[in-house]
Structure formats: C-alpha cells, structure tokens
Amino acid sequence: MNLSTSFVKDYQNELKSELVRITLALKIREKKVGQSFAYLPSHLFCGELCMVLQTRVFRVQNDLNEILVDNSPISEIDIDPSNAPVGPDNIIVAREIAFGPVGDPGIRQVSVWCNIHPDDLVPCTTQQAKRHKRSRHRLKKDRGKDNTTVLLQNQYTLVGLSKSSSNDDDASKTIEIPEYSPFFNYQPIDNDTFNLVTKILLHRSRVLLLWILSPPPQLKNKITTSLKAYEYQIESHFESLRRHWVTWSWPINDGRGQIDDETDVPPVSGEYELSMNDNNNPCLVYFHGKFESDEGEIISRRTKGTTFLIWQTFINTMKFLKLLKENVSANY
C-alpha cells in the first residue's frame, strides 16, 4: 500500500466516523429527551454528577455497500444496554447525558457519549448526590481560601483503543475511550429552532454519505443539485426564524446601548423607555441591521415602526393598569 492509498483510506475512515457520530445524534434526538427535562442526578461520571437521559445500542455497518442500501451507517439493536456485547468494534452503546438543568450556561451541555467504561459511570442515589454536592462545595470553599486554582478536566479524548488514565492527579483526569469523542447534541426548547438544527445535521450527513460513496458522475450531479436545494431551504428557514426573533425581541431600554465595565446595574423598578431614533445604538444595529446597507435590512423600516408602536402600546397599557390598581387600593 503506497502513501496516497493509505491517505485515502484514512480520509474515508474519518468521513465515516463523522457520519456515524452525526447519525447517532439524529437517532438520539428523535425522542427529544434532551430538549426539556427535570434535572435529577442519577450517576457519577468520572467524579462529576450527571443524569443519564437515555441509553441505546446501535450496530455500525462496516460495508459501504450496505450503507448504500440502507442509506444509514447504523441500525438500532433492541436489546438491554446492560447486556450489550462490549468487544465488537461495530457495537455502540450510546448514552445521552446531562450535567445540569436545561439552559444552564455554566455547565457542559447535553451530549452523546459512546462505549463508556462501566468503572467511569457509577449509579448514585438522591442522598449520595446531595452529599457529593455538599462535599464539593466545601472543597471549593477551602481551596478558595488558600488562593489555589483547581482545574478539573473530566472528558473523553479520541486518542486510543483502550481505557486508561493519563494523569493520576486528583485535580486532573483525562479518560481515553475507543473511537468516539462526545457529541454535543444541541436541542433548543423551541420546536422550530430544534427542527432547524436537525435539518443542518441531516444535510451534513447526506454530504458525508455522498463523499464516502463517490457515485457515478451523473448520479453525483443529481444528488449535488438536491443537496443545494436542501441547503437553500435551510437558509430560508434560518432567515425566517431570525426575522421573527428580531421583530418580536424586546427593544433595548433607552440610554442603555453602551455597556462596559463601569456601567452600573440598572434598578429593578426603573422605567422602561423605548427609542428608535438613535441609529448609532449598537443593540439596534445588531438586531435590526444598519439603516444604510447594500444588502438590505433584516426587517423593513415599516415593520420596525409597527413593532415599536406595538411595544409602546403594551408598556403604556401596563402603566395604566398599574396606576388603576394603585387608585383602587387607595380608595379601599
């Protein structure tokens, strides 16, 4: 085998690996379990509390001809995940894991993990989870007093074919697993946005399948044309969503366009005032686009004015109801 042949083979394997990962994500997101859930830690994963949302078993098709027939590199196996064979390379036990509540920006997002070693995923009860939280809180507090910085790295890396620990230090632990690294499966709670992300993943999987199979030129041209049409559909879907977000987003409070490190926290009970006259307001430019633009604005000026009047009417109505409530309370 010469160098060029080896490179092509490695490249094909990388494409197929990515195709399998994306197809797994598409299969996992069909049930929308990670879209909305009540977070209740059920396991310890490398010392970190987590919640296993679902566990499923898949078989990878190694023959490219089988992929051509099924149009998918994986198929689900209806067996108990605890009894799934560990040895075969074409068997994947996929777990969807959450490390915190939905929408928490301070935690690792919902992700799909494959072939986790049993020693790294330990079931825990509610009481054990509470004790773990308290002990971790005390540990961080004590280390904070000593002005020490602790970096915890609990992750899987795509570097080997066997489980091992590259660092025995308690403050840093990197685990190696076979073949796959975690796939962060973004699942917005808004169904339209969720469907948009699904379409993007589906488009990517079809492109990878096209590269892997390398069909005859005539068929390839036909598939490419279809993919371009699908890509245009995705782009139109995104522009439609963005137009809706921009149109009905709360306008920035007047006088709060410029925010830096010296900006004071605004009062909770402060007045909310709208202004559409400040064209240099960075928030207006960010949301609505520049007023003078060759590419056009996200929404028209007429729509901006109408939306502004709707928001202004809403605020005036709320002020009137508040005043009415105060007058009624004063009379009684």
| CA nearest to 20, candidates 275, 236, 238, 204 | 204
pLDDT score recorded for residue 287: 53
What is the reported pTM? 0.71
Question: What does the alpha-carbon distance between residue 41 and residue 285 come to, in Å, rounded to a whole number?
Answer: 42
**pLDDT, tens digit (0-9, with 9 covering 90-100), for 30-52:** 999 999 999 999 998 877 889 99
Q: Which residue has the higher pLDDT, 102 or 156?
A: 102
Using a pLDDT cut of 90, give the percent of the chain over it.
27
| CA nearest to 183, candidates 68, 11, 58, 67 | 58
Report yes or no on 135 lying in a domain: yes
What's the pLDDT band for 295 if we cut at 50, 70, 90? low
Report yes or no on 197 lying in a domain: no
Contacts of 76 (CB under 8 A, 6+ apart): 27, 56, 57, 58, 59
**pLDDT, tens digit (0-9, with 9 covering 90-100), for 208-237:** 988 888 889 999 999 999 999 999 999 999
Cα atoms in the Cβ-side hemisphere of radius 13 Å centred on 326: 6
Question: What does the alpha-carbon distance between residue 230 and residue 222 come to, in Å, rounded to a whole number?
Answer: 13
Report yes or no on 52 lying in a domain: yes
How many domains in the chain?
1
Report yes or no on 271 lying in a domain: no
Report yes or no on 247 lying in a domain: no
Report yes or no on 128 lying in a domain: yes
Average pLDDT across the chain, whole number: 75
Range of the domain at 25: 3-188
Report yes or no on 161 lying in a domain: yes
pLDDT score recorded for residue 177: 38
DSSP assignment of 208-261:
HHHHHH---HHHHHHHHHHHHHHHHHHHHHHHHHHHHHHHTSPPPPTT-S---T
Report yes or no on 143 lying in a domain: yes
pLDDT score recorded for residue 145: 45
